Structure 1
């Protein structure tokens, strides 16, 4: 169950076998069925989830009932409402499964304990947060500086696996577009080629 998680750890930081045993004792496996919630807006996010198998999404719904997808998470990715996890305040986002999922959960208490006892875990977390911040900054730059066509082409170039596994209306939501607008963007790109 933890194969992808430990492979990701070992690919980023040089964890010893003893470190792996300590970390494993702090993990909780979880399975979700398609459309099942991992976290609902308003609840406190008490864990970070690593995706072993499947696809999750994080989103909010505005006052008009329109869904705004903030993040997708596929195999090898982490997902949480980080603000809620760190502050223990109610979550702003809902997280649910787009596909059946197998997850590895790190609870808030386990996370704090691992930060205290394993410096390599702290290094790994720092690298994960840094990577997430860089991805967020790239996304914001894309939104303010690229045309819709360029944004979509960049998205499919960076995340071809998401495009293959996630419905187009969800990709439209992630991009801040209506499904109809995304369809027109895709047609314009196709007609240019």
Structure 2
């Protein structure tokens, strides 16, 4: 997409997401959304590199993204897969201004809306509705992380695969299987076997 295409993008998707996440007036939702800028990400473009400080509060409107870390052998391990209608950021780095232990990249080309740290901090400090929106995002993220952590300990790989397939079937059409396997904590071969038997 050209820069002209970016400028012509409507923030209706972001406005709707804000209102679904925390009930606010149309005026307030539009006011919040006006603090975010549209950006087109190319496939595999990094929005955060390990060791950098996360200053982008990203709403993912279209496309798929992931976060990942390098293990002790230097292999990439996918820690999260983000799909449309989700906020994308590394919480510790963003709020505590610490270098990130994760990297974040676009898996596909993506349409995102980016709220820069300084603008969002002003909103957090001056707009109670935005604080509640942010709180709701954090609670949702913590709940998902807790669920995933327990699943990795208590559930067999078959169950983790079935749950992901049930909850997010589109991921399998857009995200390379190597990233999905890494996210599920299994090998590519094991994922291929699971896909053949289901």
Same fold by TM (over 0.5)?
A: yes
Offset of residue 21 of structure 1: 4.0
User: Which position in structure 2 is the counterpart of 1:184?
Assistant: 193
The 2-side partners of 1:155 and 1:12 are apart by 22
1:150 aligns with 2:159: yes
Offset of residue 8 of structure 1: 0.8
Offset of residue 45 of structure 1: 0.5
User: Which position in structure 1 is the counterpart of 2:181?
Assistant: 172
User: Which position in structure 2 is the counterpart of 1:78?
Assistant: 87
TM value normalised by structure 1? 0.91
The 2-side partners of 1:109 and 1:103 are apart by 18
TM value normalised by structure 2? 0.89
Q: 1:43-62 residue pairs with structure 2 within 5 A?
A: 43-62=52-71
- Deviation string, structure 1 residues 44-73 (Cα, Å, up to 9, x no partner): 101111101111111012232211111111
User: Which position in structure 1 is the counterpart of 2:139?
Assistant: 130
Aligned residues: 189
Partners of 2:49 and 2:104 within 8 A in 1: yes
Partners of 1:55 and 1:99 within 8 A in 2: yes
Partners of 2:157 and 2:186 within 8 A in 1: no
The 2-side partners of 1:165 and 1:3 are apart by 24
1:162 aligns with 2:161: no
Q: Secondary structure at the match of 1:160?
A: coil
1:109 aligns with 2:118: yes
Uncovered stretches (5+) of structure 1, i.e. residues with no partner: none
1:41 to 47, 50, 60: 50
- Deviation string, structure 1 residues 17-61 (Cα, Å, up to 9, x no partner): 331343134212211101111111111101111101111111012
Partners of 1:32 and 1:102 within 8 A in 2: yes
Structure 1 vs Structure 2 CA RMSD: 1.5
User: Structure 1 runs of 4+ off > 3 angstroms?
Assistant: none
